[in-house]
A and B are shown apart, each in its own frame.
Chain A
Amino acid sequence: MKARFAAILSLLGAGFIAGIGTTIFLELGLYDLSALSPHNELERQLIMFLKNNAIEYQSGDIKAPALNDRERIKKGFALYEVQCKVCHGAPGEPRGRVSTGLNPNPPPLFKADDHWSSGELGWIIQNGLKMAGMPGVGIGQTDDDIWNIVSYVKRMNTLSVAEYKAMKKALKDGVDPPGLEWEFPEEGWKKLKNYSASEGKVLLKKLGCASCHSIPGIKAQNTHAGPSLKEWKNRHFIAGQVANYPKSLVKWLMHPEKIDPTTLMPNLDVTEEQAWKMSAYLMSLEE
């Protein structure tokens, strides 16, 4: 009886002290409110945890329409340019002056399709996110407009800087420049499964790739001439210009100079077969 009484009393005491402490803290204005000062890591992790769970739960039953549609992506692009670019930027273009210094920093959306389902993207754009600076874009717009934006956000996952420039030109001129593909491209993930990652690893070793790039699993005297390729599958851009998916990686490995004329990465005369094998190994590198 005595022990239980002591336990309750100390719990109450601890609660009381925590309450007083919090009150003093809030009263004195000691919380660092400057948007130029980052959240500490614990706060940041808590916010991300809450955000991911709330969006997953609250968007539970949303069914997306067919999104890989030329007209949808075109309309979505036009809406994105006016409404979203000011905070989220575009390939090679910054967010606007008005959103510089925002905390949290609005994320670039190139990877959004990897992280969120179509329904979740629709929910986020429609409702916005409290305390994140993300407005509920659904106000004053039809559901169809929202799905058009979702289509384009999904297209951003494979969008190169050159394609983005072509889309801008198409929007301005009202005519598509030759060769511009609005729809999601065939990325080649299925084809990649036919190639051996271990044979690719041998090729990367033989061609001396690791003397410029740090490559997990391949030991070499790395000169740090090129970027590290650790967790390569998760990286978005190749040479800062084209989106990273199997087909584009194969092109880059075969003819780097065709994608970036100023690159120091040499053309090593690799065959298409070899490039697919090397891609199989590089795409196997993730966390």
Chain B
Amino acid sequence: MLVKIIVIFFMAGCQVKQVDTLEVLPGATSIERGKRLTFSYGCAVCHEISGINDYPGNIGPSLVNWGKQKYIAGAVPNRMPELILWLKNPQAIQKNSAMPNLNMTEEEASDIATYLYSQ
């Protein structure tokens, strides 16, 4: 166990790079940025999402295989522009939604949507 922990710590360490910019993931793709943002906005505390484990994760519906889903919030078609709108302002689509408006930017919403469709 101890050896395993040390090995994992080293592996985690290997991903750390020195940077010369404030950009969090310099040169990253939209999917990579989206994955990081999906974690940091805490999306996985409510939703089951591939590649991100968080607690408790069962407040809202599972988003695994999100691309297959036909509708958002049982109300509008599941397409990129609607998903970006939903992520930025859920109450614009479903007035009494428990999903909070997290004040994300257009770019952030677009990266998160790209990640969700990529799962």
Contact = CB atoms under 8 A, between A and B. Distances in A.
B52 A264 contact: no
Interface residues of A, number: 61
B5 to A, nearest CB: 7
Contact of A36 (B13, B36, B96): B36
Given A30-B10, A40-B8, A227-B74, 18 more contacts: A25-B9, A36-B40, A42-B5, A48-B55, A92-B97, A108-B45, A111-B56, A223-B70, A224-B65, A235-B58, A235-B61, A236-B58, A237-B59, A241-B96, A241-B97, A260-B96, A262-B74, A264-B71
Interface string A42-57: 1110101000000000
Interface residue SS majority, chain B: loop
A217 interface: no
26 contacts: A30-B16, A31-B9, A31-B16, A32-B12, A36-B40, A37-B36, A41-B53, A42-B4, A42-B8, A43-B8, A91-B98, A92-B97, A94-B102, A95-B42, A105-B45, A105-B54, A108-B59, A115-B56, A224-B65, A227-B69, A236-B46, A237-B59, A239-B74, A240-B97, A262-B93, A262-B95
Contact of B24 (A32, A36, A240): A36
A182 B4 CA distance: 50
Nearest to A90: B100
Contacts, number: 149
A265 interface: yes
Interface string A218-252: 00000111111011001111011100000000000
Contact of B70 (A37, A115, A225, A228): A225
Interface of B: 2-6, 8-16, 24, 36, 39-42, 44-46, 52-56, 58-62, 65, 68-71, 73-75, 91, 93-103
Contacts of A162: 96
B59 A31 contact: no
Nearest to B54: A105
Contact of A25 (B3, B13, B74): B13
- Please indicate which of the listed interface residues B36, B95, B96, B103 has the most CB atoms of chain A within 10 Å of its own CB: B96
Interface of A: 18, 21-22, 25, 28, 30-32, 34-38, 40-44, 46, 48, 89, 91-95, 97, 100-101, 103-108, 110-111, 115, 161-162, 165, 223-228, 230-231, 234-237, 239-241, 260, 262-265
A226 B71 CA distance: 7
A94 B45 CA distance: 12
A26 B70 CA distance: 49
Contacts of B100: 89, 92-95
B67 to A, nearest CB: 9
A131 B10 CA distance: 21
